[in-house]
Structure 1
């Protein structure tokens, strides 16, 4: 935590400024072009549930990708293994994103005009599923980024549109059938839908497939662990 936030002006405050700035920006833009959000009556709550639900994947995956390459000095100690860097970053980012979610969403919930009924199980399920998908991708990328530098550039290009196709500022189930089928191929869209159901009891999340999400998460974690385990010797030497 000290290494990540201590060198920046404001320190841990930066963890809150990123989601708050995105939520405010989206709310201002859409309030200027629409009378009501796709769900409920609060634009900040709608965009906060989308953006923070997405961040449980995005922030974690982005932080884990460089877990090994960003801690080469630590690996010179025999007692520190490559997996330790991944585990440490995983715990730090999960705790950070959870605190941010509680503070930001808590403030919005207590300031909206109409009371919000919060249902924790779908929220927690979405958080865990997102973190496992991020862990699987992070484990694989920690290896592939070190072994194949060109892959890191290609990965950044391919995954850049994820924010736009994960249902952060729209409801996938409100799209035409063809577009909906394409969007729901992305497991992160399912996660955002599930996260939102915890704040909107009236939202049915038509098209949500929990089995698909958990299958993708299990496959990615398995692949990531296999790649990481078989490459741990080369990761230390590189």
Structure 2
């Protein structure tokens, strides 16, 4: 029978064995696993999967284009109703997808957060990466299809297009992180936000351009960062459209502040969010 000294040495010795070393790139492996789980649960359970992610915005854009073409002779920019509404609808849905998915990130991954190797930031990053890539793919496919199959006349400038999409995503990330915190601490906030945010669909420039609005309305709408994202993206499709009201410093500044405060407070209160 081994003596007490031998028993005391058992634990330290096993810790030095090569097979018991912590895995390298542990955080990356965890994020990849969570991303694959999210992908399979979101797009793998229904027939068509990613096809519906493309068909849904296409259907919405076609309905908007058909409805407004019956009452208007031409869109505010260009000659294509479909392209005009696509350049407004797609950045808004990019914002909405990022905000909605990140707001529910901790609740969605709550069972897995009981494991010590899965952290709250892993759950957020996995959802962020998957939904950012998915919506970027949808945007490219839909816009490419419109330009290929319609007679839309557009002079593409990749800089403003990517900047507008990036701003929409950045605002969605900031709003999503703050809502993840607030809904986790105060569940009633989810219902309040659903009501408060409904006018954003009308106030983000999907159906109109900023310059067509009365000056009083312009002064109010200017504070909506999503409107700046839509204007920046449209500037990349319409060579004659200046969108002089767009302020990337304001848009990215607002998104950065929301993201910073969201991360700081989630770091402090994520355990309390998971307990509620």
TM over 0.5: yes
Q: Quick one: distance in 1 between partners of 2:99 and 2:117?
A: 25
CA contact (8 A) 2:184 2:274 kept: no
The residue that corresponds to 2:190 in the other structure is: 152
Q: Quick one: distance in 2 between partners of 1:79 and 1:109?
A: 46
Q: Quick one: distance in 2 between partners of 1:43 and 1:116?
A: 12
1:1-238 to structure 2, matched below 5 A, reads 1-113=39-151, 115-238=153-276
TM-score (ref. length: structure 2): 0.83
Gapped regions of structure 1 (runs ≥ 5):
none
CA deviations over 1:175-221 (Å, ceiling 9, x no partner): 11111111111111111000111111111113112221122112111
CA contact (8 A) 2:80 2:153 kept: no
CA contact (8 A) 1:123 1:196 kept: yes
Gapped regions of structure 2 (runs ≥ 5):
1-38
**Change in 2 beyond 3 A, CA 1:114/1:154:** closer
> Which structure exhibits the higher relative contact order, with contacts defined as CA atoms closer than 8 Å and separated by 6 or more residues?
1
Q: Secondary structure at the match of 1:191?
A: helix
Question: Once superposed, which parts of structure 1, at least 4 consecutive aligned residues long, lie more than 2 Å away?
Answer: 111-116, 232-238
Q: Quick one: distance in 2 between partners of 1:228 and 1:90?
A: 15
The residue that corresponds to 2:24 in the other structure is: none
- How many aligned residue pairs are there? 238
